[in-house]
Each structure stands twice: as structure tokens, then as C-alpha cells.
Amino acid sequence: GESVGLHLPTLSVQEGDNSIINCAYSNSASDYFIWYKQESGKGPQFIIDIRSNMDKRQGQRVTVLLNKTVKHLSLQIAATQPGDSAVYFCAENKQGYSTLTFGKGTMLLVSP
């Protein structure tokens, strides 16, 4: 069936670098996307979301880019810090549906 997936299971970066986590989705009807951060032993924490009428949205140190043409979503983290080490999930939703579909996750490892 249609699903959301991630290109890289693990991303290792140095502290201070910029990180980019990618996500591909296959449901062209999806119109809402979310990025979550999950630290070990905790539940996913909302980071940022974007609706399909936007291409880019910025938060504090994070930017989400949406390319609907190729059904691709990315999360950019500026000046990555050791506290950013976690698993990052993308999720998508289609208008009129109650549920989110989650990708498998990418682990981000930040070295000091």
C-alpha cells in the first residue's frame, strides 16, 4: 500500500554542522506533513509541520522543505547539537482522514 519512507536509516554529523534528513512519500493525496523527534525511551515530540500549500516552513533552527513534484520532504537542522541526537520520523496525513502514516525513522547521531 501507499506509505511514507526514509532514505537514510542513520545520519552521523559533527556538532555545528547542518543536518538534512529526507523522507519520500508515495500518496499524492497527502496534504499535511509532520516531523517528530524521538529520544530513547520517550514518545515522539512534535518538531514542525507543513501543509501542501507551502514549499517551506521555518522554525527555531529547523526548516522543512516540501517538494510535491517528486513527493519529497526534508528536515534541515542548523548548527546541530549533541542534544539533537535522536530518531526523526516524518508523518503524512490526507485531508478528511483521521490518521497519520509514519515513516520508519532516521537516527541522527551528533558527535561533539
Query: Which residues within the stretch 33-62 sit at the binding site for another protein (CB under 8 A)?
Result: 34, 36, 41-46, 49, 51
Rounded-to-5 percentages of helix, strand, coil across the chain: 5, 55, 45
Q: Which of 11, 19, 93, 110 binds another protein (CB under 8 A)?
A: 93
| Of residues 2-31, those binding another protein (CB under 8 A) | 31
For strands 4-6 and 19-25, give the pairing: antiparallel
- Cα–Cα distance for residue pair 99/81, rounded to 1 Å: 32
Kindly list the residues in this chain that would bind another protein in the complex (CB under 8 A).
31-32, 34, 36, 41-46, 49, 51, 89, 93, 95-96, 98-100, 102-105
